[in-house]
Amino acid sequence: MGQLYYGTFDQAIDIPDRVLAHVKVVTATKLRRGESFTLSWRHGEDEPAGRSTLWMQPSIPLRFVFDNPEPEALDPEYLKRLAHSANSSAGISMTWHEEDAAASAPLKAVPAA
């Protein structure tokens, strides 16, 4: 399980390494271009119920931490879906399951509600 640190908060957002690797590529591309977008997800089972959204913009500090020292294999179709979502007014809405993070099952990017 990887972690995303955003802003000056010490608390990380836990995201499976496989998902985080894809989000990192899309985020780096968008922010390098000076483009902002939202990133949303549902809270995990071990967290209070609900969902969260971040406003991703170039001036806010961002750090990706991966548990696995080896780079993840990237799925070009998943990258395209994430990039398309990031370019929409809804932004990226991530969803994952623990078994999906460990297996080679397709990852999903769904429109935000």
Q: Do the beta carbons of residue 28 and residue 103 sit within 8 Å?
A: no
Instruction: For the full predicted model, state whether its pTM sits above 0.85.
Output: no
Where in the chain are the domains?
Answer: 2-110
| Span 53-94, pLDDT tens digits | 999 999 999 999 999 999 999 999 999 999 999 999 999 988
**Any residues with CB less than 8 A from the CB of 60 and at least 6 apart, and which?**
6, 7
**Any residues with CB less than 8 A from the CB of 18 and at least 6 apart, and which?**
72, 100, 101, 107
What dihedral do alpha carbons 113, 73, 6, 33 form, nearest 10°?
Answer: -80
Which has the closest alpha carbon to 78: 112, 106, 39? 106
